[in-house]
Amino acid sequence: MPIQPTEKIWRNGQLIPWEQANIHVMSHVIHYGSSVFEGIRCYGQPSGAAVFRLPEHMQRLLDSGKIYRMALPYTLDELCAAVVDVIEANGVAPCYIRPIALRGYGEIGVSPVGSPIDVYIANFPWGKYVGGGSHGADVCISSWNRLAPNTMPALAKAGANYMNSQLIRMEADINGYAEGIALDVNGLVSEGSGENVFVVRNGVLYTPPLANSALSGITRDSVLTIARHLGLAVIEQSMPREMLYIADEVFFSGTAAEVSPIRSIDRIVIGDGTPGPITKQIADEFFGIANGLKPDRFGWLTPVKVDVAVPVTA
């Protein structure tokens, strides 16, 4: 989806013009993929706009940096305030927010020592990510596996990890699918190229544990929290791929994907081919909270002041 430029980007504590947010071609990140990032959504609400689970996202950015020995020069509160500042400066909401910390221009070579750490935060309009609309997406099992846990850390949301995601998504696109689901090195269900996976069977909600090389998704945690609040049975357990085929319902979760139903996997129709009741129940609660149509019962929303925000329906 093409990026729609906004007016300002936050860079190392300052708001700068969008077109000036540049890095040198010899920056470490370009040659070695040395970046960590986040994806966050700001939703329109009847009273204005609010960022969804902002502290949790920025804490994960800090955690990702720590895993890669990349100490960000900002506190959690400073990063959260920066997100609010850039949204309010641009006056764009609803929107998608992209914070990224990267190793910049300084030295060449695999070792990042000597390269500065730069932090940028941008926001811009962005709609639905996973195709298929309200009927659900047609996806496939990818021939590409997720990374083994002792090769690259799956808990870090690092730019380099997404080279693997690109292979998964491009393969799916070429073969006419909306998305791909990757297995881990043991052949167990892991996640999509940029989404966590949930399965419903006999009224029970299942999702792979983080040990199956899955990202610790903020939306994943939101779905688990909502499901437990609704009194649903929830199990985190490893799953063989065939469990996807015999599921009653399957859906993706993620900041970009939100809660996106899956209609078929490898051309095998899931259930009756329409979003199931549990998927709908969770999606209704998720979007109701995000859009301000239901109480923020879990304290997930950070208000921002913009004049152009409008509610977004699921």
What is the per-residue DSSP string for 143-184?
SSPPPPTTTS-TTS-BGGGHHHHHHHHHHHHHTT-SEEEEE-
Share of the chain above pLDDT 70, in %: 96
Give yes or no for residue 158 having a pLDDT over 60.
yes
Active site residue 157: yes
pLDDT classification of 313: cutoffs 50, 70, 90: very low
State mean pLDDT over 279-292. Answer: 97
State mean pLDDT over 93-105. Answer: 97
Residue tagged 């960590």 (tokens) = 36
φ/ψ of 239, rounded to 5, equals -135, 135
Give yes or no for residue 195 having a pLDDT over 60.
yes
pLDDT classification of 308: cutoffs 50, 70, 90: low
State mean pLDDT over 209-215. Answer: 96
Query: Which one of 8, 66, 128, 157 is the catalytic residue?
Result: 157
State mean pLDDT over 16-36. Answer: 97
Give the type of residue at 111: S
Comparing C-alpha atoms, which of 37, 101, 19 is closest to residue 256?
Answer: 37
Q: In the structure encoding, which two tokens stand for residue 289, read together? A: 């909270």
The answer to whether 191 touches 141, Cβ cutoff 8 Å, is no
pLDDT classification of 312: cutoffs 50, 70, 90: very low
| Cα 11 to chain centroid, rounded | 22
Fold assignment, 8-124: D-amino Acid Aminotransferase; Chain A, domain 1 (3.30.470)
Indicate if the alpha-carbon torsion angle 269, 272, 274, 276 is positive or negative.
negative
Q: pLDDT: is 143 or 312 the higher one?
A: 143
Give yes or no for residue 8 having a pLDDT over 80.
yes
User: Could you tell me the end-to-end alpha-carbon distance of the chain, in angstroms, rounded to an integer?
Assistant: 19
Characterize the bridge pairing of strands 137-141 and 258-265: parallel
Give yes or no for residue 127 having a pLDDT over 80.
no
State mean pLDDT over 222-226. Answer: 98
Q: Where are the domains of the chain?
A: 8-124, 133-290
Domain covering 133-290: architecture: Alpha-Beta Barrel (3.20)
Give yes or no for residue 260 having a pLDDT over 90.
yes
What is the C-alpha separation between 129 and 215, in angstroms, rounded?
18
Read off the pTM: 0.94
Indicate if the alpha-carbon torsion angle 18, 23, 25, 28 is positive or negative.
negative
User: Exposed, middle or buried by CB within 10 Å (0-12, 13-18, 19+), for 88?
Assistant: middle
Q: In the structure encoding, which two tokens stand for residue 158, read together? A: 């690092």
Q: Could you give the dihedral angle defined by the CA atoms of residues 96, 61, 76 and 24, in that order, rounded to the nearest 10 degrees?
A: -80
